């Protein structure tokens, strides 16, 4: 870790549960044609041909969210995503570095990496499955997963995949391992269901739990179904954490978004016109 990054991580308590939201953002450089490695990057700001695409540089942002509904998160690290890389690759590298650094100092702490649907796949979960931190990521609503293959029958090639689990086909879900109903001050009546030991077809060696969140059940038209993947640390089983706690922890992911906007709009993170802006990015987020 860089000195600033390691120094900041040392300020995080070594006990309790700590959530680290992971996201990416764009620094637009539409007119800087001499800058190296410019890319077409997604941005909420309408920029090119009326679409949410800008020409510039993408950055991976890893933060610490001590509060659930805050609009501010202290950032742990910022790194530019090169054109030869993906946001998932860089995000996994940053999360792995954080987990390894915290392993020596975390004491009784439980560290959780929380991310949105862009990271909800085996390419992100697999590199972190042996790290001393948990992972909570959102999953796309059209995913198809598979259960454990079961015991070997003794004939033919052993099965790699078990029963099919399609998010859009409720008859494939089977009985959940856990069902919890609760009242949330922000989400109203919530029902949580969890299924364990599922995996993607591309990677049967990376099992994880799936949580279905049904929010605002008191309304005539409840919210759309919300799917999460939970991968606990290696020294913990899937059922060691209550499903209500997992849902509560994932809500710490959102504060990273307004904190990025604040840094851009009021701390002028992306205002300077440097030819090589990477070193500058290490300063404003701290």
What is the model's pTM? 0.90
Per the domain annotation, does 140 fall within a domain? no
Q: Is residue 202 part of a domain?
A: no
The answer, yes or no, to whether residue 277 has pLDDT greater than 80, is no
Residue 128 placed within a domain: no
What's the number of domains the chain is made of? 1
Query: Higher pLDDT residue, 67 or 48?
Result: 67
Percentage, residues of the chain above pLDDT 70: 93
pLDDT at 52 over 70: yes
> Of 75, 91, 86, 79, which is closest to residue 41 (Cα–Cα)?
86
Please indicate, yes or no, if residue 221 is contained in any of the structural domains. no
Question: In this structure, is residue 142 part of a structural domain?
Answer: no
Task: For residue 152, tell me if it sits in a domain.
Answer: no
Q: How far apart are CA 23 and CA 118, in angstroms?
A: 9
Is 132 a member of any domain? no
Give the mean pLDDT of the chain: 87
Q: By residue range, what is the domain housing residue 109?
A: 1-116+253-286
**What is the share, in percent, of the chain residues with pLDDT greater than 90?**
50
What's the confidence (pLDDT) of residue 41?
A: 86
Would 110 be classed as within a structural domain? Answer: yes
Given a contact cutoff of 8 angstroms between Cβ atoms, the answer to whether 238 and 232 are in contact is yes
pLDDT bracket for residue 283 (50, 70, 90) = low
Q: How confident is the model at residue 62 (pLDDT cuts 50, 70, 90)?
A: very high
| pLDDT given at position 81 | 92
């Amino acid at each position: 870790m860089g000195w600033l990054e390691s120094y900041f991580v040392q300020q995080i308590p070594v006990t309790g549960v700590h959530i680290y939201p992971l996201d990416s953002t764009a620094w637009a450089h539409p007119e800087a044609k001499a800058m190296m490695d410019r890319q077409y990057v997604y941005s909420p700001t309408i920029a090119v041909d009326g679409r949410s695409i800008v020409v510039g540089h993408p950055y991976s942002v890893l933060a610490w969210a001590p509060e659930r509904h805050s609009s501010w998160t202290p950032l742990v690290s910022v790194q530019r995503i090169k054109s030869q890389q993906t946001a998932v690759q860089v995000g996994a590298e940053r999360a792995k570095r954080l987990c390894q650094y915290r392993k020596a100092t975390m004491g009784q702490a439980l560290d959780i990496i929380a991310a949105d649907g862009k990271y909800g796949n085996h390419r992100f979960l697999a590199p972190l499955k042996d790290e001393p931190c948990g992972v909570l990521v959102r999953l796309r609503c059209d995913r198809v997963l598979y259960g454990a293959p079961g015991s070997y029958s003794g004939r033919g090639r052993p099965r790699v995949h078990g029963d099919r689990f399609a998010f859009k086909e409720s008859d494939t879900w089977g009985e959940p391992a856990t069902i919890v109903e609760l009242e949330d001050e922000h989400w109203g009546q919530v029902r949580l269901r969890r299924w364990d030991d599922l995996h993607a077809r591309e990677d049967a060696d990376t099992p994880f739990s799936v949580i279905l969140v049904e929010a605002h059940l008191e309304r005539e038209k409840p919210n759309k179904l919300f799917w999460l993947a939970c991968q606990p640390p290696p020294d913990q089983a899937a059922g060691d954490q209550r499903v209500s706690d997992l849902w509560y922890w994932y809500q710490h992911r959102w504060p990273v978004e307004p904190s990025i906007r604040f840094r851009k709009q009021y701390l002028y993170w992306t205002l300077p016109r440097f030819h090589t802006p990477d070193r500058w990015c290490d300063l404003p987020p701290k």
